[in-house]
Structure 1
């Protein structure tokens, strides 16, 4: 009998572990909550941003030690999402009045799905990830505009700056076209194939979606890599 109980528990735990909290959050929670880090806010939003919810719960959960905060926060979400009430809520009165009380999600999520969402919520929305994202944004703001475009459109995935990848190094492109910079621009707009032996016939797609400012800045930046 004990073997069956333990086996059943192990199977239930595996079932819970197999659920994708991120995917569930994106498909179920994003209807009302903004999921960005840091979040955007909108005048007509239906619910507070998920990062704000997670931070607020974590800060206000009533436990005595830091080690208890995450388990207690997960437990709170598992209870509140199925059984919401103004009395349980950590929101201030104005927020409750503005957004209204969250409707119960009982019947829309299973207990296992809700646990997966709650676990992901506090793994993802934390100070470490928030500071990492803000640092990355600062790096992008400080970056040369042309390099920012190159990274935005994935140029660096196929072209190293000084090393060949799937395509030639950007430094090699700059050297080849140092007297004819417009060829770089044309290649970006039209795409290329078989101009570089080391590319092994790989085709570079066209990037017609770039606006004029992006095209000018990335062309100039590539030309400077020689």
Structure 2
């Protein structure tokens, strides 16, 4: 009985770890497909801020996810300098959420 419980626990743990990894891959692919990486690096500023800097800025902000989603969908200016971030209206709400959660999950 204990062996079955342990086995199920290990399988479920593996599934929980696999889902975020898959989501991370999908988000990173989406960022590349939509040219986000032309302006943003994970660790380094290009034109816009590094994704890790965005994650750090909003880490303790309860509205952080909503703010990042809004910036992705509607663009922005003045949050990270004078060069505006273009809006990404072609992205679905699900895609915007995927990207925002991925960005905010980077440490």
Q: CA deviation at 1:149?
A: 1.1
Structure 2 equivalent of residue 221 of structure 1: 102
Q: CA deviation at 1:190?
A: 1.0
Structure 2 length as normaliser, TM-score? 0.70
Q: CA deviation at 1:143?
A: 6.2
Q: For residues 222 and 142 of structure 1, do their structure 2 counterparts lie closer, same or farther at Cα, with a shift above 3 Å needed?
A: closer
User: Secondary structure in 2 aligned to 1:181?
Assistant: helix
Structure 1 equivalent of residue 25 of structure 2: 144
Quick check: 2:24–2:102 contact (8 Å CA) kept in 1?
no
1:188 aligns with 2:100: no
User: Secondary structure in 1 aligned to 2:100?
Assistant: helix
Structure 1 length as normaliser, TM-score? 0.35
Structure 1 equivalent of residue 54 of structure 2: 173
Instruction: Extract structure 1 runs of 4+ deviating beyond 2 A.
Output: none
Q: CA deviation at 1:203?
A: 1.0
User: Secondary structure in 1 aligned to 2:86?
Assistant: coil
Quick check: 2:23–2:98 contact (8 Å CA) kept in 1?
no
Superposition RMSD on alpha carbons, in Å?
1.8
* Residues 37-60 of structure 1, C-alpha deviations (whole Å, 9 max, x = no match): xxxxxxxxxxxxxxxxxxxxxxxx
Q: For residues 142 and 220 of structure 1, do their structure 2 counterparts lie closer, same or farther at Cα, with a shift above 3 Å needed?
A: closer
Structure with the bigger RCO (C-alpha within 8 Å, sep 6+) is: 2
Q: CA deviation at 1:225?
A: 1.5
Q: Which runs of 5+ in 2 are unaligned?
A: 1-21
Structure 2 equivalent of residue 160 of structure 1: 41
Aligned length: 83
Q: CA deviation at 1:157?
A: 0.8
* Residues 114-158 of structure 1, C-alpha deviations (whole Å, 9 max, x = no match): xxxxxxxxxxxxxxxxxxxxxxxxxxx996111111111111110
User: Radius of gyration: which is bigger?
Assistant: 1
Quick check: 2:55–2:103 contact (8 Å CA) kept in 1?
yes
Describe how 1:192-203 pairs up with structure 2 within 5 A: 192-197=76-81, 201-203=82-84
